[in-house]
């Protein structure tokens, strides 16, 4: 059993595909991860199941691997500072979770932005330019920089979960670069494809951070480190100043209003069409 606990999740699932369903049954959403290099034991530890649930999960995995042969079920080492399942963020981590809210508002607007994509008018192009500014200034420089330059420095950079998050950040940046190039070429299809790619990437990325990475980090941070992070995050925010986050929030708010009125116009038009019929 130890051998498989120390094997990357992707390899384990490739060898024993039924383990994917077992993990999904415990809301462990690592199965579709595109990196899949986290060790099975780290995945079990990081999800902070109760001892009973963890033992049941490992027994099912052992059953799938050893096909009914009796094997000893080990207990995964962990730091239980909170009861299993409880999600209580410390002030610095809560700051990051709160920043996710504005990013999620942008992500929620992406399908509408794609639907109304208009590269013929200056106003239409400006929406994409402002969207790219939001991703670069808020999601990346304001938010991801706090993770990369401050938070992740408190953890081993070689941990697979950290590597996975950094790969996600880089993939997001690559989507942005492609959208910039596509905008210069007026390539509507490439813009749509990469905006959608960014939306899917960040949706999964934020879910992983809010539900798995941050709670695991909380369990491993000392109180001294929590205080240090709080100070460093505040200093980082002060360095950037209030203008950038205010500008980005204003953009999201105005885009939400614009998309709402576009939807209302569309609904009115639809009603008129139905009335004519």
Question: What residues make contact with another protein under the rule CB under 8 A?
Answer: 81-82, 88-92, 94, 222-224, 226-228, 230-231, 234
CA distance linking residue 224 with residue 141, whole number of Å = 26
Q: Are 138 and 102 in contact (CB under 8 A)?
A: yes
Nearest to 131 by CA among 259, 237, 270, 14: 259
Q: Are 205 and 168 in contact (CB under 8 A)?
A: yes
Taking the least distance from each CB to another protein, the nearer of 157 and 224 is 224
Bridge partners (DSSP) of residue 39 are: 8
- Report the nearest approach of another protein to the CB of residue 94 (Å): 7
Taking the least distance from each CB to another protein, the nearer of 95 and 163 is 95
Taking the least distance from each CB to another protein, the nearer of 220 and 234 is 234
The angle subtended at Cα 218 by Cα 213 and Cα 224, nearest 5°, is 140
The pair of structure tokens assigned to 4 is 């498989």
Chain mean position to CA 180:
22
> Which residues make Cβ contacts (< 8 Å) with residue 249, sequence separation at least 6?
102
- Report the nearest approach of another protein to the CB of residue 224 (Å): 5
Taking the least distance from each CB to another protein, the nearer of 126 and 234 is 234
Taking the least distance from each CB to another protein, the nearer of 53 and 90 is 90
Q: Are 58 and 44 in contact (CB under 8 A)?
A: yes
Q: Are 245 and 138 in contact (CB under 8 A)?
A: yes
- Report the nearest approach of another protein to the CB of residue 197 (Å): 36
Inter-axis angle of helices 122-134 and 160-184, nearest 10: 160
- Report the nearest approach of another protein to the CB of residue 87 (Å): 11
- Report the nearest approach of another protein to the CB of residue 51 (Å): 17
- Report the nearest approach of another protein to the CB of residue 12 (Å): 34
Nearest to 176 by CA among 140, 220, 227, 123: 140
- Report the nearest approach of another protein to the CB of residue 81 (Å): 7
Bridge partners (DSSP) of residue 8 are: 39
Taking the least distance from each CB to another protein, the nearer of 6 and 231 is 231
Taking the least distance from each CB to another protein, the nearer of 92 and 215 is 92
């Amino acid at each position: 059993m130890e051998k498989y606990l120390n094997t990357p999740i992707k390899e384990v699932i490739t060898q024993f595909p039924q383990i994917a369903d077992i993990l999904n049954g415990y809301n462990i959403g690592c199965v579709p991860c595109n990196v899949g290099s986290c060790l099975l034991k780290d995945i079990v530890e990081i999800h902070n199941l109760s001892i009973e649930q963890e033992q049941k999960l490992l027994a099912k995995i052992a059953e799938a691997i050893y096909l009914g042969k009796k094997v000893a079920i080990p207990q995964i080492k962990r730091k239980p500072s909170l009861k299993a399942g409880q999600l209580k963020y410390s002030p610095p981590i809560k700051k990051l979770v709160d920043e996710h809210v504005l990013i999620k508002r942008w992500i929620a607007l992406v399908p509408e932005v794609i639907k109304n994509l208009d590269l013929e008018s200056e106003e239409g192009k400006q929406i994409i330019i402002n969207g790219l500014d939001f991703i670069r200034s808020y999601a990346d420089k304001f938010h991801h920089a706090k993770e990369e330059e401050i938070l992740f420095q408190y953890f081993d950079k070689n941990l697979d979960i950290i590597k996975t998050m950094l790969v996600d950040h880089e993939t997001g940046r690559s989507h942005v670069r492609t959208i910039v190039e596509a905008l210069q070429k007026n390539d509507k299809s490439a813009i749509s494809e990469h905006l959608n790619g960014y939306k899917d990437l960040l949706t999964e990325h934020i879910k992983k951070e809010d539900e798995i990475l941050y709670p695991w980090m909380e369990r491993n941070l000392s109180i001294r480190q929590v205080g240090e992070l709080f100070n460093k995050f505040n200093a980082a925010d002060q360095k950037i100043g209030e203008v950038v986050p205010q500008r980005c929030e204003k953009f999201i708010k105005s885009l939400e209003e614009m998309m709402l009125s576009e939807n209302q116009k569309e609904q009115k038009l639809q009603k008129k069409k139905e009335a004519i019929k």
